Amino acid sequence: MASTNQGGKQPLLEKLQEQGAQLVDNVQGSQAWSSIFRPGSIFRKGYTDSPRNRSYVIMNSVLYHLHPVKVKRHAVKVSYTLCLGGLSFFLFLLLTVTGIFLMFFYRPTAAQAWDDIYTLQTSVTFGLLIRNMHRWAAHLMVLSVFLHMARVFYHGAYKAPREFNWVIGVILLTLTLLLSFTGYLLPWDQLALWAVTVGTNMMGFTPVFGNEVRFVLLGGTEIGTDTLLRWYVLHVLFVPFVTVIFMAIHFWRVRKDGGISGPL
Ligand code: HEM
């Protein structure tokens, strides 16, 4: 817009705009700013929208860099993957958050476990809701991981170069089932006790080492507090930890294998 400078005096608004632009320039040119917003960032001075700069933006941002620089058109269609892998991951996160809530009210001993669950449901604000969210999310995760595997199989995405990621997937399926099974014992009700009794008895029939396997799983010769503590540690610490590591490898491989496979 043409300047309305009259008699050598600059109008206040124009002056303020000039000073504002100068301030933005100074901030964007400062070392602090460029140490946070790296080359190519849209917040850096002189950003131009070019394919190279777009790649920079993705690679230099802690959140964006999780995504590939380029994505194939079909890969962002929800109807192709049904987002079942993403849904499995979301359920895992939901289980972590609700599980941490449950840990505040639960003590893994034969004398306290069932009472704690009962108190949680009847006396803790949102206790019943969070317990049910945890339970339902666990059931749904088993279902979504299974359906995700079926989707991958249907699209032939287990073939080279993704065969290694399929194997990682099989490990993730096993870990998901392990999380589900170890969590089953924790309410310490009749259903849990008998499910674990049947499960560990079956494993007792493992050839050669049957008795030893059963002993390790029970933490003794029969089901009791030691079993509960053992399965609790597996459920809240060991198996989730291993699962997170394998998920990281899984997601990394999806990227490295060229993103989501194309339609057959
Ligand atoms: C905790 C369990 C799992 C999680 C969180 C997970 C997550 C994911 C995600 C987010 C993707 C990207 C595409 C999509 O959403 O479909 C993916 C792709 C893939 N997953 Fe899984 N997954 C899991 C289990 C499995 C299992 C059980 C298998 C097979 C046995 C598997 C094999 C694959 C393969 C081969 C791909 C590449 C697919 C393609 O390129 O089209 N995953 N996974």
Chain-centroid distance of CA 107 in Å reads: 26
- The Å distance, Cα 243 to ligand 1 centre, comes to 13
Q: Which of 54-68, 132-146, 163-177 has the lowest mean pLDDT?
A: 54-68
**Cα atoms in the Cβ-side hemisphere of radius 13 Å centred on 82:** 13
Question: Is the model's pLDDT at 68 over the cut of 90?
Answer: no
Q: Which domains does the chain have, with CATH numbers?
A: 14-66 (no CATH), 73-256 (1.20.810.10)
- Mean pLDDT is highest, among 20-24, 131-135, 219-223, 254-258, for 131-135
What is the best residue among 245, 246, 250 to mutate for testing ligand 1's pocket, by most ligand atoms within 8 Å of CB?
A: 250
Position 1 scores a pLDDT of 46
Q: Is 20 in the pocket of ligand 1 (CB under 6 A)?
A: no
Instruction: Identify whether the C-beta of residue 220 lies closer than 8 Å to the C-beta of residue 125.
Output: no
Position 44 scores a pLDDT of 81
Res. 56 pLDDT band, cuts 50 70 90:
confident
Give the list of residues 6+ apart from residue 253 with CB closer than 8 angstroms, or none. 162, 164, 165, 168
Dihedral in degrees, nearest 10, Cα atoms 66, 245, 142, 233:
-140
For residue 84, the ligand 1 atom closest to its alpha carbon is: 15
Average pLDDT of span 227-246: 97
The whole-model pTM stands at 0.84
- The Å distance, Cα 122 to ligand 1 centre, comes to 38
Q: How far apart (Å, rounded) are the C-alpha atoms in residues 43 and 92?
A: 34
Q: What is the pLDDT of residues 178-215, one digit of tens each?
A: 999 999 999 999 999 999 999 999 999 999 999 999 99
Among 96, 160, 89, 102, residue whose Cα is nearest residue 128: 102
Q: How far apart (Å, rounded) are the C-alpha atoms in residues 186 and 103?
A: 11
